[in-house]
Every structure is written in C-alpha cells, then in structure tokens.
Structure 1
Amino acid sequence: MTTWILAVDDDLHMLNFVSTELRHSGYEVIEAGSGEQALVCLNSKKVDLAIVDVMMPGIDGFELTRILRKDYDLPVILLTARHHIEDKERGFLAGSDDYLVKPFDSKELMYRVKAILRRYDHPVEDTLTIGSLTIDFKSYEVRSDQGILLIPLKEFELLALLASKPRQVLSRDLMIERIWGIDFQGDEQTVNVHIKRLRQRLERFAPDVQIITVRGVGYKLEGNP
C-alpha cells in the first residue's frame, strides 16, 4: 500500500531536503510552499501524514496543524528552527504528534515518520472479530455473546492492537510505542498492568479469547474459531 506524506515549508531548500529523504525511503510526497497551498492539495489527495514548518507567512504551522487535526484527522510532525519550550507547548496543544528542531538528521526524521505511521496503523474496517469477540472502532465498544463491554481507552487500544495481528507476538516496546507514544516515560510494567486487567475482563466476557504471554518477548491474542 502506498503511503502519501504532505510536506509543507516555505523554505524551498528544506522542502526539497525533506521530500528527497521521504522519497528515498519509499514514500510518495506532495509538496506545498504554504499553509494555503497545503489545504488546496488536500482537496484532491488523501494523505497519511503531514510534516509542517512552524514559521510560515499566512497560515502558520500551528494554525495549519489545528486544521489538519480537526478537519482531516491527520497526524502531524512540526518543524521549527527555535528551541523554545513555548513553541513545543503550542505545537502539542495545536495537536501535533511530534516536534523536530532544525537542523536535524535525516535518520531522525525517518525514525519519527515511521514511528508515527506505525502508531496510526489501524484496520480500515469498522470492526474486528476474533473468536466470540467483536471490537467496534466507531463506538469503542467490545461485544460478545455476553453483551456489550465498555473499557478504558488504553485497554481498548491495546486489545485492538492485539486483535489486529491475531496469533502474532507483539513486544512490550512495540505496544508502548503504538499506544503511549515514543516519548512515554513509563516502563514495561505499565503494559503488564493493562494486560492483567484485560485478561480479567476477557475471562468473564469472552472466555474463548485469551492473551498469551510469550516469556521474554511479549503478548499475543488467540481466539477459538
């Protein structure tokens, strides 16, 4: 599947650098020299991620980020030449997923792009079914023969991640990155606690679906046909 990334920067040298690195890594890129041009591009093409410069005339990066999150539900990486903590705060309050200070290494950019795309990798279907369990991404409900179960968001996201890759072992590090983000300050115990709670719920609600521990690696979800 082709991944499209929108790169927005009024500095043509930086725009070319970012676009070139993305294309070398196999991504398709749409380039825009302003916030206004970026919005025009989005009218004709669906993209998976936006990389946006903060300091632009007209619609600046903060405002564009708010629009991209609110109207297009797009993940955003903000680029800035300033180290001010206030800029980082404004960026995250606007809805950005990550923040890079110029100049940055191309490897760091690609690491962050890949991490965010993995975090937003979710099934295109509205529901996932494993065993007697159905996970509804629209209503955030979990259903089985026992009825409907509403669980905390992080537990729902963990369950959905496991169900999206049935019988595949997922590491704790991967779960932390996907569910809590690459900047999470906690440790693996956070995952273990959430898994324990999920197991207790499934034992009563869908006993044919089990979270299996693979010692030293992580967890996998299995359900009877």
Structure 2
Amino acid sequence: MRILLAEDEAHIGEYLVKGLRENGLVVDWVRNGPDALHQGTTVDYDLVILDIGLPGMDGWEVMRRLRETQMMPVLFLTARDMVEDRVRGLELGADDYLIKPFSFSELLARVRVILRRGKQKDMNVLTIRDLKLDVMRRRVERNGQRIDLTIKEFALLTLFLRRQTEVLSRTLIAELVWEMHFDRDTNVVEVAVRRLRAKVDDPFEHPYIHTVRGFGYVLERRE
C-alpha cells in the first residue's frame, strides 16, 4: 500500500513517515500544496493524508482539484477543529477527518480501515442498495424517491455511508459532525440519528442504520 503524506511541519512529517513505514506502508512525503497536487495526479496512491494549512495551496484546494480527476481516498489531518471545517471536509469527499494533536495508534487504525475498504469507483456518489447520496449535488434518494435532509443530517449520512459496516461511537460522530468535545449528558447524536432514520429508514422495508448497544451506530445491510 502506498500513501501520499502532505504535511509541512517537519517533526510531524518525520514522525508519521517513520511510524507508517514501520507498519509496512510505503510513504511519499511532500511539504506544500503544489507538490501534493502534482504527486496526487501523477502517482496512483491508495490513500492521501492531507493537511489543510499547506503553503502554496491549501488542503481544501488540493482536495477540490484532486477530485476533478482522481478518486483515491483522502484523510484530512489538521489542527482546524471547527465544526464547519469538519463538515466541509466530509462534503468535499474526504473519507475521514482527524484533529491535531492526535495519537498515532488512532491514526493508524483509521488508515487501516480506509485501506481495507479500498478505492471507491465514485467517491462523490455513495450507495448502499437502493439508498444513494450524491455529495456534489447534495441529493439523497432511496428507491428512486428524493429525501430532503438538513445540513447536519446530510453530513451525518455522508459519514455513515463513507464508513459502512464500521461501528461509530457517539463520541466520534459528535467530533466529526458537531463539536470536538462530546458532552455525554446531551443527546444531540441520538436525536439526529432518530430524525435521520425517520427519513431514510422508517418509510422503507429494510433499515440500514442500526444501534450497537453501549457503543454507537453502524450503517450496513442486514437480511
């Protein structure tokens, strides 16, 4: 597996290159946006780990231009922890979004999950059976029927579809879609999932969003 790392901070880059290579991955490291775009459009990578605050061209623009021609998975690794940034990253087509500072074990786990899934044929159109989400057109359909979602519901469903069969904790969902720090006394995730289910599952015969008691939720096919 070959990974492109776009990171301008030398100590972080050296740390990641060493750790990823020790775990059997081939890593190409670049330190600015133009080099990241050049490498990403000329080499067939299994994953791009992309910082947002790159010199020369920020990660948003690199991501946008990569998506014009390339469908390789992308993991944003950045200090940008605003809710709007995480939602923007997911809507641009990122597979994951990890905030600095981070633990290497968590990064490696997320990398392995993405690599196991492999490349998707169309990173902008996410599907499971009769449910289809078009990231660029912001359109959701099930069984040919259009479903209208709020911004947060759309981001939540995008997260579920990009990480199908992976059990997602309430804390992780809250970090990626709402706030970085999840207050366990609030039920924002439960309420949002319930509303999403009412739109994409309840009117249809087979539900896709399932509760994993004591942990969180998973989107998958169950016969």
If the length of structure 1 is used for normalisation, what is the TM-score?
0.60
Alignment of 1:1-225 (within 5 A): 2=1, 4-9=3-8, 15-32=13-30, 36-45=34-43, 46=45, 47-51=47-51, 61=55, 63-72=57-66, 75-77=75-77, 100=100, 108-109=103-104, 111-112=106-107, 114=109, 124=120, 125=122, 126-130=125-129, 133-138=130-135, 139-145=137-143, 147-162=145-160, 165=164, 169-180=167-178, 183-187=180-184, 189-202=187-200, 205-209=203-207, 211-221=209-219
Structure 2: gaps spanning 5 or more residues: 68-73, 90-96
Q: Give the number of the structure whose alpha-carbon radius of gyration is greater.
A: 1
Q: Tell me how far 1:6 sits from its aligned partner.
A: 1.9
Which digits, 9 at most, give the CA deviation of each residue in 1:102-159, with x for residues without a partner? Answer: xxxxx735535655886997972434234xx422234443323472112124323433
Q: Tell me how far 1:194 sits from its aligned partner.
A: 0.8
Q: Which amino acid is the alignment partner of residue 216 of structure 1?
A: G
User: Would you say how many aligned residue pairs link Structure 1 and Structure 2?
Assistant: 198
Q: Which amino acid is the alignment partner of residue 141 of structure 2?
A: R
Which digits, 9 at most, give the CA deviation of each residue in 1:172-224, with x for residues without a partner? Answer: 2343345447x244546221011111232246532432644343233345667
- Alignment RMSD (CA, Å): 4.5
Q: CA–CA distance in 2 between the matches of 1:29 and 1:180?
A: 32
Q: Which amino acid is the alignment partner of residue 71 of structure 1?
A: R
Pair 65,207 (structure 1): closer, same or farther in 2 beyond 3 Å:
same
Q: Which amino acid is the alignment partner of residue 133 of structure 2?
A: D
User: Do the aligned partners of 1:5 and 1:27 also contact (CA within 8 Å) in 2?
Assistant: no
Identity over aligned pairs, percent: 20
User: Do the aligned partners of 2:33 and 2:58 also contact (CA within 8 Å) in 1?
Assistant: yes
Q: CA–CA distance in 1 between the matches of 2:217 and 2:198?
A: 15
Q: CA–CA distance in 1 between the matches of 2:9 and 2:16?
A: 12
Which digits, 9 at most, give the CA deviation of each residue in 1:2-23, with x for residues without a partner? Answer: 3513244485x76544421221
Pair 190,9 (structure 1): closer, same or farther in 2 beyond 3 Å:
same
Structure 1: gaps spanning 5 or more residues: 55-59, 80-86, 102-106
Q: Which amino acid is the alignment partner of residue 137 of structure 1?
A: D
User: Do the aligned partners of 1:49 and 1:117 also contact (CA within 8 Å) in 2?
Assistant: no
Q: Which amino acid is the alignment partner of residue 169 of structure 2?
A: S
Q: Which amino acid is the alignment partner of residue 147 of structure 1?
A: Q
